[in-house]
Structure 1
Amino acid sequence: MQKKNITAICIGLPVFLILVISIMIHASWINGFDNFFEQIVHTIPNLQGIMKKITFLADTKVDLVWMLLIAIILWIKKQRPLSLSIIITLITADAFGWVVKHIIQRARPMQHLAVDDGFSFPSGHTLGMAIIVFWLMMILIPALVKNRTTKIWLNVLLIVWLILVMISRVYLYAHFPSDVCGSVALGAMWVGIIDAIWDRVTPRTSKNNF
């Protein structure tokens, strides 16, 4: 197993489990955590318009469009293992997230918009975008980009975008801060696990032969 996968799993798994258990037992620190970051996020008023645009671009259906675009381009470039990798990673993560939602059954914040129905943990928008971001950072960018400075800038831009998605979901009262944090932890863990399995079944030479 590669170091990047071990790191993603070793960070993502414990954070995700701590949040899951704390939410299920209604740990007092979760309320404090959520209240603290909700106040920070809502410091600047009247950002609903831009936040709605950000959350639209990270909608679970739109995430599938991003995934298909990446997969199709990779397929055309004859990178079929990579193309299948992102499809399998995102679809299995969404399925797992759906199961977790219905096991925990956490209610959304009281002020949530009517369009944001269903349960709150984890955030589907954030999970889908976290999968795409971490997949690009851990798998595609290392395979495509050789310049170290370019890699750093691409990774920074992806992280900033993911943070904006997290903020938008909290700002619109669609989720609690712990929901989006749990989704990011799950995304990192999931990419690490699936890629570790993928390495077992796909030779590196055919996986990354750009």
Structure 2
Amino acid sequence: MSRPASNPLSIPSLTAPVAMGYVPLGAVFGFLFVQSGGSGWLAVASSLLIYAGAAQFMMVPMLYAGLPISAIVLATLVLNLRHVFYGLSLLNTLPARRLARWYSIFALTDETYAVLTALPAQARAPNMALISALNQGWWVLGTTLGAVLGSMAQVGLTGLDFVLAALFAVLAVEQWRARRDAVPIWIALAAYAIGCVLMPSQALAIAIALCLLAAALRPARPVPTTGAAHD
């Protein structure tokens, strides 16, 4: 008699799209950090202890310019304030164990949130810490590779700036496959178009504000509870 599968989700395959974005992006960060005069071990330590993605990229020119740590901390807080809202939406599905819960809160990023919310609600708590750890592992791996490369040679980075856009495109597709609801995608496109018309230099901020407003006004839609999107 065959044993039923206790967990039909393939966690490594769920994080594979994140890996394809995090490894090269982490490598770019590690490379830039070392090329700006920082130590390779500090680049890796920041990816282990800070793990803030865009804030880490922002940190490089700020450190290079000699800005005080307090300014960097404040800028990082403002940039990552959106994660508070991510966490609020996952409160009911956080892991029960304290260590796993606190680590999942620390390691919550845009991409990890996108992967988690594409899962059935009942599958989030058992897999949240593992998914978060794998995603951070991809980022640390990329940072390490970039730091090593940056200390050895000068390498052009042309074209790698598109990796993040490609990653979010893949995650948007996964969200659509899980929810079968294209309205948020159309809202995001329309919001960004409006932002470009009103104030091109602040188009992203305007688009985010309009998307938040649309999400608040739109009636709640039931989320599918099956794992069909991951077969």
Q: Considering only CA atoms, is the larger Rg found in Structure 1 or Structure 2?
A: 2
Task: Return the structure number with greater relative CO, CA threshold 8 A, min gap 6.
Answer: 1
TM-score by length of 2: 0.28
TM-score by length of 1: 0.30
